[in-house]
């Protein structure tokens, strides 16, 4: 019995010593882990405060997805005071600033440390028409589809760019920034009550086989189209607009039968009974209406 008791005390002593060693080893390991984590965190903080991780110029901002706006234009929209530390910039704030611009529909801003800078992806509002005020002087300032806003057009405060949804953006926002030519289609003096109809109207006009270059809405009682066949009078805009366009589309052979220089305008107020109003000649009195079959 004495030997058994002696052995038990010896085993218990060894076990206690082993447990003490294990606890000391765990304490040492925990200490090393803490030191390693602290060192890593300190290194990151130190690295993050390096002057190299600073936005010093707009050239450190890469712009992607822009078509109508130059990269300098997008860079200028970002509220960044140079120089500014990269980690002080909030991508969410910069993104919200870009989205607040009428000509940008979506944006994403990301930071990158190597090399230090920003990447900005934008989705622009695509203009499909030039919207002009009822001022004929402003109308005359647009010379051709190839002319760009960078030519500092007179009267640009009265000119807007219209997208296919009916949202308009002042051309002044693009002056000096736009790299693409203006849309070929012009809209003059469109009443605000018809703005909601624009999306459907533009869809119909854009699908027409007859090229339409201008929609003149200065007189709400008479919508006028300028087309490759000549000037077309439609009367008040109404639900019969698609029918009027269809009647116009059926006149593609008109130039082969009638001298276009003698046509004052094509009257499609009644698409079932279209007519030509002729200019004055020796044989035809001025504004003589000639019925035609669509």
pLDDT 10s digits, 151-167: 334 355 568 889 999 98
Residue 142 has pLDDT above 60, yes or no: no
CB burial string 65-74: b at 16+ within 10 A, e below: ebebbbbebb
271 near 247, Cβ under 8 Å? yes
Rounded mean pLDDT, 262-266: 91
Residues paired with 109 in a beta bridge:
120
**127-291 is classed in which CATH architecture?**
3-Layer(aba) Sandwich (3.40)
Three state DSSP letters for 163-184: ECCCCEEEHHHCCCCECCCCCC
Q: Which residues contact 210 (CB under 8 A, 6 or more apart)?
A: 227, 228, 229, 248, 249, 251, 252
* Phi and psi, residue 110, nearest 5°: -130, 145
DSSP string, 213-280: EEEE-SSTT--EEEETTEEEE--S--TTHHHHHHHHHTTTTHHHHS-GGGEEEEE-SSTTS-EEEEPP
Residue 174's pLDDT band, with cuts at 50, 70 and 90, is low
89: its two tokens = 């910039």
Q: How confident is the model at residue 33 (pLDDT cuts 50, 70, 90)?
A: confident
Q: DSSP string of 49-88? A: TSTTSEE-SGGGEEEES-SSB-HHHHHHHS---SSEEGGG
Task: Return d(Cα 212, Cα 145) in angstroms, integer.
Answer: 13
For the record, the structure tokens of 113 come out as 């440390």
Average pLDDT estimate for 200-205:
95
d(CA 271, CA 269): 6
The mean of the pLDDT values for the chain is 80
Q: Which range, 133-137, 237-241, 285-289, is most confident? A: 237-241
Of 25-34, 62-71, 90-99, 113-122, give the lowest mean pLDDT range.
Answer: 25-34
Half-sphere exposure of 106 (CA within 13 A, CB side): 2
Least confident stretch, 67-81, 145-159, 211-225, 241-255:
145-159
pLDDT the model gives residue 53: 82
What is the model's pTM? 0.67
Q: Give the pLDDT band (50/70/90) at residue 140.
A: very low
213 in Cβ contact with 185 (< 8 Å): yes
Domain 54-124 matching CATH 3.50.50.60: the answer reads: no
Chain centre to alpha carbon of residue 27: 60
* Residue ranges of domains in the chain: 1-49, 54-124, 127-291
Segment 1-7 shows an average pLDDT of 50
């Amino acid at each position: 019995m004495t030997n058994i008791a002696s052995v038990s005390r010896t085993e218990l002593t060894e076990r206690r010593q082993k447990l003490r060693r294990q606890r000391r080893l765990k304490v040492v390991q925990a200490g090393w882990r803490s030191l390693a984590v602290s060192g890593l965190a300190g290194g990151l903080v130190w690295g993050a405060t390096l002057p190299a991780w600073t936005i010093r110029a707009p050239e450190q901002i890469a712009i992607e997805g822009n078509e109508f706006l130059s990269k300098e234009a997008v860079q200028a929209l970002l509220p960044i005071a140079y120089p500014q530390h990269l980690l002080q910039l909030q991508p969410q704030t910069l993104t919200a600033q870009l989205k607040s611009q009428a000509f940008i529909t979506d944006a994403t801003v990301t930071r990158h440390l190597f090399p230090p800078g920003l990447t900005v992806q934008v989705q622009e509002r695509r203009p499909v028409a030039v919207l002009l005020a009822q001022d004929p002087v402003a109308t005359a300032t647009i010379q051709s589809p190839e002319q760009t806003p960078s030519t500092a057009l007179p009267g640009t405060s009265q000119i807007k760019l219209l997208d296919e949804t009916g949202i308009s953006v002042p051309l002044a926002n693009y002056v000096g920034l736009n790299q693409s030519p203006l849309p070929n289609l012009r809209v003059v003096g469109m009443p605000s009550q018809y703005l909601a109809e624009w999306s459907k109207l533009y869809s119909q006009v854009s699908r027409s086989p007859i090229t339409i270059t201008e929609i003149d809405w200065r007189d709400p009682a008479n919508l006028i189209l300028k087309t490759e066949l000549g000037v077309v009078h439609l009367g008040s805009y109404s639900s019969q607009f698609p029918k009027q366009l269809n009647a116009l589309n059926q006149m593609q052979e008109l130039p082969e039968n009638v001298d276009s220089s003698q046509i004052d305008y094509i009257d499609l107020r009644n698409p079932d009974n279209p007519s030509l109003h002729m200019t004055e000649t020796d044989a035809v009195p001025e504004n003589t209406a000639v019925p035609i079959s669509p």
